[in-house]
Amino acid sequence: MSSAFGQYFKSIWSNARSIFIGLGVTIRYFFRPHTVITLQYPREMDKLPERHRGIHFLETEKCIMCYICAKACPVDCIYIEGTRDGDIEGAYQGNKAVMTMFVIDYSLCIMCNLCCEPCPKDCIHMGQEFHFTGTERNEMYKNLLEDRRYTKDDDAWVKSKRPDIVRLAEEKKQKKLAVMEAKKKAAAEAKAKTQSAEASASEAKADPEPKPKESEAKEDKPAPPTPGGEGDKA
């Protein structure tokens, strides 16, 4: 019985002691606020390390639209649209490319940095920003071309530019085919000229220049003096 009472009061003392210790820490920082290490987020923010894997940002003017970042992504959360076949009104200018869409879905992104490491132009980076939240899944898309959230208006504009991308690709294809046809035609004409010249040369070799006839040669010789001429008179 006595042991049970002892255990009961011991438990009360242990709990009270832990409460007083916690209150002591609170009171100590209350009177010495300059020693507080807790940051008053979001008014205050701690300094992040340089290699912090935060929200991505893009140097658009350096991008060549090679799709290497999208291919390297293990969760397929990077979406890129654009063309290298010509200009599109309102599109974003890259390095010999124009882009209409460069979006990352942060409801899927695992912040692995695998999209940044293989980039040949070093134009996609993971920055210091980390507070990218939303109440709906479609709010988790970021438009890297404008460094802001991807909206319904952006999506409608991207869809309106897709026919232009298809048209430019078809025009480039037709130009390429026309160039190939012109090269084939030029090669065929050159081959025909070569064959014609070879045929003329072989004909000339087979029929040499004819020799003059004997009658023609005799006619060209001077006639001998006839007997009884002026030279034979006494």
What residue ranges define each of the domains in the chain, with the CATH number in brackets?
Answer: 56-161 (3.30.70.3270)
Burial 117-154 (b: 16+ CB within 10 A, else e): eebeeebbebeeeeeeeeeeeeebbbbbbeeebbeeeb
Residue 192 confidence (pLDDT): 86
Residue 105 confidence (pLDDT): 96
Model-level pTM? 0.66
Residue 83 confidence (pLDDT): 95
CA–CA distance, 153 with 163 (Å, rounded to integer): 17
CA–CA distance, 129 with 106 (Å, rounded to integer): 13
Q: Are 72 and 114 in contact (CB under 8 A)?
A: yes
Q: How would you write the pLDDT of the chain (234 residues) with one tens digit per residue? A: 567 778 888 899 999 999 999 999 888 888 887 777 778 888 888 888 888 999 999 999 999 999 999 999 999 999 999 999 999 999 999 999 999 999 999 999 999 999 999 999 999 999 998 888 888 888 999 999 999 999 999 999 999 999 999 999 999 999 999 999 999 999 988 888 888 888 887 777 766 555 555 555 555 555 556 555 554 443
Residue 28 confidence (pLDDT): 86
Residue 58 confidence (pLDDT): 97
Residue 219 CA to chain centroid, in angstroms? 88
